[in-house]
Amino acid sequence: RKIYRGRMASSSVNLEDVPSVDLMTELLRRMKCSSKPDKRLILIGPPGSGKGTQSPLIKDEYCLCHLATGDMLRAAVAAKTPLGIKANEAMDKGELVSDDLVVGIIEEAIKKPSCQKGFILDGFPRTVVQAEKFDEMLEKKGIKVDKVLNFAIDDSILEERITGRWIHPSSGRSYHMKYAPPKVLGVDDVTGEPLIQRKDDTAEVLKSRLASFHRQTEPVIDYYNKKGIVADLHAEKPPKEVSAEVQKVLSS
């Protein structure tokens, strides 16, 4: 579905060549989406708290775009763009990249047609400065963040989640050796392509990622708490139970 959605947007694609089943699926998706309310969500939590696991489910349910600054930066690093070159060193060390870089990325990304019904921000804002700049940006558009989902979890659980994670880079699908294993070891369930481990998913780099989280990102939760829009989740629970909590918050 994803592939055709992208291609149909370009005039070079002849819709007659698109299989009927794909056209119908896309039509049904759009009809279902048209009745969904707009939602603008922020997901905050330490590395491994489950933001990337829950995002695709929320995205599909509410027809939102999923903007993960970490994924966008990793794509820029892989493509060796000027942005990627600037971000690379900080990411390898588990430190944050500069506020201006990520604010610029988000400003561009939320203009995409797929963000028409709203967005899920995963990994942004990560500093109070980013949150303030983002609020200014939204104010100019006359819109506001509806909810901030706080993936609350104890640090002690995260090392096992992070070091056991395997990823399919092109789709962003994430697996865990113990909690969400692929059908075949080291291979993506959908495409059969190889899975990889992220360079910063080591116990050593996790320490500095967690330090950045506590020092720079936790104050962002207080920032949104003052606005009364934070919902705390029990992110230590199994994925299905976390999903149920998310559903409850978003449907209320």
Judged by the rule CB under 6 A, the positions of this chain that interact with ligand AP5 are 45, 47-53, 69-70, 73, 90-91, 94-97, 102, 123-124, 126, 130, 161, 165, 174-176, 179-180, 209, 238-239, 242
Task: Decide if 209 is catalytic.
Answer: yes
Can you tell me the distance from the alpha carbon of 132 to that of 114, in angstroms, rounded to the nearest whole number? 24
* Nearest distance from C-beta of residue 113 to ligand AP5, angstroms: 23
Q: Is 7 a catalytic residue?
A: no
Least separation, in Å, of the C-beta of 204 and ligand AP5?
A: 13
Q: Which is nearer to ligand AP5, 23 or 56 (CB)?
A: 56
Give the nearest distance from C-beta 191 to ligand AP5 in angstroms: 18
State yes or no: is 51 an active-site residue.
yes
Q: Which amino acid is at 119?
A: F
Count CB atoms within 10 A of the CB of residue 14.
7
- One of 39, 74, 126, 173 is an active-site residue; which one? 126
Catalytic residue among 86, 117, 198, 237: 198
CB 130 within 8 A of CB 102: yes
d(CA 140, CA 119): 17
- The minimum distance between CB 37 and ligand AP5, in angstroms, equals 25
The amino acid at 42: I
SS (H, E, C) 60-125: HHHCCEEEEHHHHHHHHHHCCCHHHHHHHHHHHHCCCCCHHHHHHHHHHHCCCHHHCCEEEEECCC
Between 69 and 150, name the residue whose CB sits nearer to ligand AP5: 69
Annotated catalytic residues are 51, 126, 165, 198, 209
